[in-house]
Amino acid sequence: MAKTTILMAIKAAEHQLTAAGQETSVAAYLMQEGQGWSFTQLVQHYRETLAGDQLATYHRQIDRVCDGEPAQYVLGHAPFYGREFRVTPATLIPRPETEELVEWLLQLPATSQRVLDVGTGSGAIALTLKAERPTWDVTATDISAAAIAVAQDNAQALDTPVTFAVGDLLTPVAGQRFDVIVSNPPYIDRSELAVMDDSVKRFEPATALFAANHGLAFYQRFAQLLGDYLTTHGQFFAEIGYQQGPAVRQLFATAFPQATVTIKADINGHDRMVRVQL
């Protein structure tokens, strides 16, 4: 039987992905991540022969991506802020835009802060904040017990101590107050289904994607509750949909007339984040 080199396997996978209407770059990405290599290392190994079991595993991975499954779920992990996080269909795949939200939070004074991450999913925000600011006391909640289990696995793998709790929105931390509350809540209106990527609709958890009231439902709930959970000069940070800036600003400005509400654009110039400073 003819030997299959790494480069041959990648080229064959690219043709298969093209025929399935998927991004060809996934072929190299799956090989690279599967072997734990950098891109330079991948190129250096191009002419090496793949073992039969390695090739079979790679073929199965490519088949799953051709069927529309995100490569991160196929691999079982995704990068975020320089670290690898376990992901499953119980959690959203961390996105670069959310790294920008974390970057904004990291501009806060490095002094001790009591922080709550609501809807933590894989724990990407909470664990990154704790890893970057070890003196911060970080709690993370999610309505999904399966998501919290994934986040706990990530906390253990990253050796990052965060307190986790299961429950809806702020319910698990009733009676507590925080200096900072952050959330990447569901904010997609179901009217946007037609323009969404098919793999997102089929594989990522709908409960973490969609919200009622034109995608504003969770911001409305936060606006009603934050006063009871933030400290006197506490701050709320959240990711928002790129068309939601004016509505979100108005919502929080109405709820907290004395607060400073800031909408921040992402690297692409789209409204993507909100900060409410009490």
pLDDT in tens, 184-243: 998 888 777 766 678 777 877 877 787 888 889 999 999 999 999 999 999 999 999 999
Is the residue at 75 inside a domain? Answer: no
CATH number at residue 154: 3.40.50.150
Residue 201 structure tokens = 């609709």
74 located within any domain: no
pLDDT at res. 111: 86
- Whether 42 and 124 map to the same domain: the answer is no
Number of structural domains the chain divides into: 2
Determine the pLDDT at residue 211. Answer: 81
The CA distance from 94 to 242, in Å, is 17
d(CA 162, CA 148): 11
Could you tell me if 32 and 167 lie in one domain?
A: no
Does residue 17 form part of some domain? yes
pLDDT of the residue at 209: 81
Residues 101 and 183 both lie in one domain: yes
Q: Which residues of the chain have pLDDT under 70?
A: 1-2, 194-196
Reduced to 3 states (helix: H, G, I; strand: E, B; else coil), residue 174 is: coil
Residues 57 and 84 in one domain: no
The per-residue pLDDT for range 83-94, each reduced to its tens digit, is 999 999 999 999
Give the structural domain span for 62.
6-67
Shared-domain flag, residues 208 and 117 = yes
Q: Structure pTM?
A: 0.91
Indicate whether 143 and 258 sit together in one domain.
yes
Output the pLDDT for position 205. Answer: 80
- The answer on 31 and 96 residing in a single domain is no
Structure letter (DSSP) for residue 51: P
